[in-house]
């Protein structure tokens, strides 16, 4: 071929086109790899608090406050039942190894409608994956959120999460008091409707939350407290805690609001013991919940007042003021519940009663900073002896409400607060 100036220009132009095309291809390929990259194993993968443009936001429909000291598992299937609050058509779950000392591996995770005891409707089984895989390993101190799964989640219904633990782990992150039976069996039985060789346990093991996508959901409210919020002494296996009953009221009223129970039996506002104090766990158990817009702070301070060396009312008020400020800084409304009566309980004393009065006076006063007051005290006390429970609501220990008392607490919450 005879080389001319025109030939040289033509070849140069062609080379430029090829180089540009190659750069575009590399950049596109690189962006695909970046978008699909899984987090480094062991990273603390927290639920997204905001949706990408065009995506339906996530809302928590069930959660527990996590604690240390759970039982161990090895080559066993764990089936755990949860009562939802808000429904939807896409679900993800959150598994926690927050308080573990060793990596936790789970596989064969399935979500299904719960029928009775340890039995699920196997026809509704939905496989839950993590970064596209059947198995996930969660490093000590970390949390992992699953991939979204298509599943019709009922509002106010019971669903079961089954997971196989293939490798020995001595102790898992837990929620100590489930107030219901959960189930464990030998081998991988995650997909079975009915389990064989069932044993029961009454806490939640490594399951920390369930989120749902619902375009009509208004957000979630977290209930922060101690044993009263945790449902202690309400009827076992029947979801009679006051947050459960609040969730039922919201469903009946047609208000799609998630209700997330962050109560821990024995918990305190200021002191660590049964779990970290409410002040110390506030970021994780309240601000870190999916879609949270409101928090109800209730009964934790009662346990502080019942201690051998109780904090003063001023100290408890300072702690409440801190929670109020932290809520507002995060753009969350805080509803303050007055402390219920407890005279007659084993740890009641006059000093503690004075502290309760001080906290309740602060909550009800103008300028407290609370976005609303929920008067649990008035809802449950004996009108003729206000430092004691109304006998209709007393389990008999003069500290915890019975099922009717739990209903009275739920009824004291104005649903207009979530409008």
pLDDT at 16: 35
pLDDT at 307: 82
Where b means 16+ CB within 10 Å and e means fewer, 99-118 reads bbeeebbbbbbbbbbbeeeb
Closest by CA position to 83, among listed 110, 113, 127 = 113
- Walk along the chain (419 residues) and give the pLDDT tens digit of each residue: 333 333 433 434 443 333 333 333 333 333 333 333 333 333 344 444 455 556 899 999 999 999 999 999 999 999 999 999 999 999 999 999 999 999 999 999 999 999 999 999 999 999 999 999 999 999 999 999 999 999 999 999 999 999 999 999 999 999 999 999 999 999 999 999 999 999 999 999 999 999 999 999 999 999 999 999 999 999 999 999 999 999 999 999 999 999 999 999 999 999 998 999 999 999 999 999 999 999 999 999 999 999 888 999 999 999 999 999 999 999 999 999 999 999 999 999 999 999 999 999 999 999 999 999 999 999 999 999 999 999 999 999 999 999 999 999 999 999 999 98
CATH assignment of 218-419, given 3.40.50.2300, 3.40.50.720, 3.40.50.1110, 3.40.640.10? 3.40.50.1110
Using CA of residue 261, residue 359, residue 314, residue 399, what is the dihedral sign? negative
CB atoms within 10 A of CB 199: 13
pLDDT at 308: 82
pLDDT at 52: 58
Q: Please tell me the distance from the alpha carbon of residue 46 to that of residue 62, in angstroms, as a whole number.
A: 15
pLDDT at 255: 98
Where b means 16+ CB within 10 Å and e means fewer, 243-253 reads bbbbbbbbbee
| Cα 309 to the center of its chain, rounded Å | 31
Strand partners, 364: none
Kindly report the three-state secondary structure assignment for every residue of 382-416. Answer: ECCEEEEECHHHECCCCCCECHHHHHHHHHCCCHH
Q: Answer for the pair 69, 171: CB distance below 8 angstroms, yes or no.
A: yes
Q: Answer for the pair 175, 65: CB distance below 8 angstroms, yes or no.
A: yes
């Amino acid at each position: 071929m005879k080389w001319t100036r025109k030939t040289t220009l033509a070849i140069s132009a062609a080379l430029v086109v090829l180089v540009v095309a190659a750069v575009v291809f590399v950049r596109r390929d690189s962006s695909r790899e970046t978008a699909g990259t899984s987090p480094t194993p062991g990273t603390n993968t927290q639920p997204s608090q905001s949706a990408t443009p065009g995506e339906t936001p996530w809302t928590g429909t069930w959660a527990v406050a996590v604690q240390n000291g759970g039982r161990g598992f090895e080559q066993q299937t764990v089936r755990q039942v949860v009562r939802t609050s808000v429904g939807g058509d896409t679900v993800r779950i959150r598994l926690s190894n927050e308080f573990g000392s060793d990596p936790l591996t789970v596989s064969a995770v399935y979500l299904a409608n719960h029928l009775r005891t340890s039995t699920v409707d196997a026809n509704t089984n939905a496989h839950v994956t993590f970064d596209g895989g059947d198995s996930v390993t969660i490093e000590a101190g970390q949390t992992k959120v699953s991939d979204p799964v298509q599943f019709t989640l009922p509002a106010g219904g019971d669903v079961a999460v089954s997971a196989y633990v293939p490798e020995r782990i001595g102790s898992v992150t837990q929620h100590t008091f489930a107030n219901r039976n959960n189930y464990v069996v030998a081998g991988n039985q995650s997909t079975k409707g009915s389990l064989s060789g069932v044993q029961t346990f009454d806490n939640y093991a490594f399951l920390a939350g369930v989120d749902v996508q619902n375009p009509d959901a208004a957000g979630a409210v977290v209930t922060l407290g101690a044993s009263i919020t945790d449902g202690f002494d309400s009827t076992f296996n029947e979801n009679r805690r006051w947050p459960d009953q609040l969730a039922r009221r919201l469903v009946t009223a047609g208000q799609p609001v998630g209700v997330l129970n962050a109560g821990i039996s024995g918990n305190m506002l200021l002191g660590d013991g049964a779990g970290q104090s409410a002040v110390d766990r506030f970021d994780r158990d309240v601000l870190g919940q999916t879609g949270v817009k409101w928090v109800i702070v209730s009964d934790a301070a009662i346990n502080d007042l019942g201690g051998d060396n109780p904090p003063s009312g001023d100290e408890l008020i300072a702690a409440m003021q801190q929670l109020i400020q932290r809520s507002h800084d995060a753009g969350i409304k805080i509803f303050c519940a007055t402390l219920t009566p407890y005279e007659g309980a084993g740890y009641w004393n006059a000093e503690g009663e004075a502290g309760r009065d001080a906290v309740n006076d602060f909550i009800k006063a103008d300028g407290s900073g609370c976005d609303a007051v929920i008067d649990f005290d008035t809802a449950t006390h004996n009108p003729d002896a206000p430092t004691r429970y109304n006998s209709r609501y007393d389990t008999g220990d003069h500290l915890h409400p019975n099922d009717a008392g739990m209903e009275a607490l739920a009824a004291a919450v104005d649903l207009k607060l979530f409008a």
